[in-house]
Amino acid sequence: YTHECGVSMTIARVAIDSGYATQDVYRWARLQSPQQVLVVKGLEHAAAPIGQPSHVEVTVHGKRIKRGVRLWPVATSMLKGELYRWLRLYKPTDPDDPYPHGYCHFPQLNEEFFKQLTAEQLVESQTRSGYKKLEWQKTRDRNEALDTRIYARAAAIQFGMDRFDARKWKQLREAIEIQAHEIEEERTS
């Protein structure tokens, strides 16, 4: 991806859903760096946004392949709730005020993207035994923007972005500025 200042940026983490065409996903993931690619599986209920990975490939004798594909569980319900709360945050009216934590910045995107992003709602239902439970239900067929946002968030958490402090963000900004300066020097020389 190209930063607005012209610097090429690499992808730090990628999360790929294994819920469809599972074996194809595993085959592709085997060819990628396990430090960069996370094979994920959404779970409705979990204790953490992204859990510990488990080895999902086994030998013909049933032993786990230690360097095989690892599957990362993602608490989709938890992350959808977080995203929907963040979508309700307002942009500060004073330019000197910081954006609230979680504020969502979007480039120019079409209406279909936002319909997909908000294509589910939290609904209360009852179990057979009479207990109430909350579950996410689609309000329209297409929800790919929501799914990709949730898995990108999980990848960001696994990468450690939630633990970045102001110093770390400053280091990243400075590294981009140095690269941008080098690009500009190459153009002018």
Reported residue count of the chain is 189
* Of residues 9 and 88, more confidently modeled: 88
Q: Percent of the chain at pLDDT above 70? A: 100
Q: Region 6-31: what's the mean pLDDT? A: 93
pLDDT, tens digit (0-9, with 9 covering 90-100), for 94-104: 988 989 999 99
The pLDDT confidence band at residue 7, using thresholds 50, 70 and 90, is: confident
pLDDT, tens digit (0-9, with 9 covering 90-100), for 54-71: 999 888 888 888 788 999
Mapping DSSP onto H, E and C, the string for 159-174 reads HCHHHCCHHHHHHHHH
- CA–CA separation, 44 vs 16, rounded Å? 17
Q: Model's pTM, two decimal places?
A: 0.87
Q: Give me the pLDDT at residue 5, please.
A: 82
In the block, residue with structure tokens 């030998």? 59
CA distances from 4 to 9, 115, 176, 177 (A): 10, 27, 10, 11
Q: Give me the pLDDT at residue 61, please.
A: 87
- CA–CA separation, 65 vs 54, rounded Å? 11
**DSSP percent split of the chain into helix, strand, coil, nearest 5:** 35, 20, 45
